[in-house]
Amino acid sequence: MLREFGYEDRAIEGRIEASWQAMFYGPEDRRIYRPIGEDLGQVIDTGNGDVRTEGMSYGMMMAVQMGDKDLFDRLWRWAVKYMYRSEGPYEGYFAWSANLDGTLRAEGPAPDGEEYFALALFFASHRWGDEPAPLDYSAAARRILWNCVHKGAEAEGQPMWDEMSALIAFVPGCPWSDPSYHLPHFYELFAAWAEPEDRAFWKRAAYASRRYLPRACHPVTGLAPEYAEFDGRAHRANWDYGHHLFYSDSYRVAANIGLHQIWSDPDPELGAIASRIVAFFDSQDPGDLRMYELDGTPLEEPALHPVGLVATTAMAALAVPDCPVARRAVERFWGTSLRTGARRYYDNCLYLFALLALSGNYRVY
């Protein structure tokens, strides 16, 4: 899309390489990655001072897309060594948050980490081939997906996907979801590569998520809440007022739809959501992005990750017919730089994913 919109190949390639180098190999105040010893590494959530399965799996997906096997293997070894649960009620899952020294901040998993781990591992297997454990990429991916569907957590009594609805839960055993976790384009690939007995389930999960997102997103603005019930209604979490609103997690819905439409058969309902999101943010001041009610009413709290919001809105343009608002969304993104400072981790992950997708370099391997 960047090329189609008139950006030069040299500029595109230079932006990708410069962003990658800054995030993973740049100066201390720019990067989000830390190598450890001879064969380990971690992606740091610089805003919260921890290591999350979200960031580790994002880093692995970026590494396999960029062809950086050493980085991929370092991240995966660290995740297996410190985050993988080999016993107890969460056996077979990865603890979603750990301190920088590897001690755990959380016992249980966050399902978005598992789904990104699994697909990144499959891609690594297809690019580089499998090696002895823990670099037995495809076998590790299949084990993750088997656990997601079958094992669940004994303390919760449910797997990561709700069996009846085939919808991903916020955490195992949780009776609601997070719209930004829904990746039907991933599940289509799982349906080809997971254990044979589970492939029909992953087809069902892909269909269920495609039908879920139109229920969870506002019919006019396209905005999704951070958390939503399995019927799509916004979920009001007891511990935090904001999760029923459009906030940081929600940004990823736009990006996910954009990638879905170029990896899978385009879905008209998802394309309509993307068009609404792009149109809504075309009406907003990019220098004054906020937390929003789902109907688009701006609230007092500013966006915690404005660079990420600009990036994901541009990525949604992949699902929108060529039009002025789509071009303006991409132009705003191209005119935005990587974020610096403590909150750079989440913004810049979304930024690099958008660069890869908009340049045609976010590929299925």
Range of the domain at 5: 1-30+216-365
Q: Determine the average pLDDT of the residues in 277-288.
A: 96
Whether 123 is covered by a domain: the verdict is no
Q: Does 361 fall in a domain?
A: yes
**Does 226 fall in a domain?**
yes
Whether residue 164 lies inside any domain: the answer is no
- Checking phi first, is residue 67 left (phi over 0); if not, alpha (psi -120 to 50) or beta? left
% the chain with pLDDT above 70: 97
- Contacts of 266-270 with CB under 8 Å at 24 or more apart are 266/319, 267/210, 269/210, 269/213, 269/214, 270/210, 270/213, 270/214, 270/319
In a domain, 222, yes or no: yes
DSSP string, 168-183: BPSSTT-SEE-GGG--
Count of structural domains within the chain: 1
Task: Choose among 103, 1, 115: nearest CA to 42.
Answer: 103
- Structure confidence at residue 157 (pLDDT): 54
pLDDT tens for each residue of 22-64: 999 999 889 999 999 999 999 999 999 999 999 999 999 999 9
> What are the tokens at 40?
């380990």
Residue 224 has pLDDT above 60, yes or no: yes
DSSP string, 200-236: HHHHHHHHHHHHHHHHHS-TTT----SSEETTSPBP-
Q: Which residues are part of the catalytic machinery? A: 54, 249
Residues whose CB falls within 8 Å of the CB of residue 18, separated by 6 or more in sequence, listed in order: none
Examine residue 206 and state whether it is found in any structural domain, yes or no.
Answer: no
If you write DSSP's letter for every residue of 89-118 in order, what string do you get?
TTTTSB-SEE-TTS-BS-SS--HHHHHHHH
User: Tell me, what's the pLDDT at 154?
Assistant: 54
What are 144-195's pLDDT values in tens digits?
Answer: 999 999 876 555 557 899 989 999 999 998 899 999 999 999 999 999 999 9
Determine the pLDDT at residue 240. 63
Residue 238 has pLDDT above 80, yes or no: no
Whole-number Å distance between alpha carbons of 201 and 324: 40
Q: Is the pLDDT of residue 345 over 80?
A: yes
Position 177 in a domain? no
Nearest CA among 35, 120, 23, 97 for reference residue 70? 35
Provide the mean pLDDT of the chain.
95
Query: For 89-134, what is each residue's pLDDT tens digit?
Result: 888 999 999 999 999 999 999 999 999 999 999 999 999 999 999 9
CATH number for the domain spanning 248: value is 1.50.10.10
